Amino acid sequence: MFGTVRYMVFFVIELRSRAVHVAGMRINPDGAWMLQVARNLLDPEDGFLRNATHLIHDRDPLFTKAWVALLQSGGVKSVRIPASSPNCSPYAERFVRTVRTECLDHFVIFGEGHLRLLLREFIARYLTERFHQGLGGQLIVPRQVSENDNSAAGVIRCRSRLGGLLKYYGREAA
| Res. 96 pLDDT band, cuts 50 70 90 | very high
pTM: 0.83
User: CA 97 → CA 86, 91, 100, 128, 163, distances in Å?
Assistant: 12, 10, 5, 19, 21
Topology (CATH) of 8-142: Nucleotidyltransferase; domain 5 (3.30.420)
* pLDDT for the residue 131: 83
* Residue type at 92 in one-letter notation: A
CB of 27 within 8 A of CB of 7?
A: yes
pLDDT confidence band for 151 (50 / 70 / 90): low
Q: Residue 89 — pLDDT band, cuts 50, 70, 90?
A: confident
**140 Cβ partners below 8 Å, 6+ apart?**
17, 18, 19, 126, 127, 128, 130, 132
Domain boundaries, the chain: 8-142
How far apart are the C-alpha atoms of 40 and 8, rounded to whole Å?
17
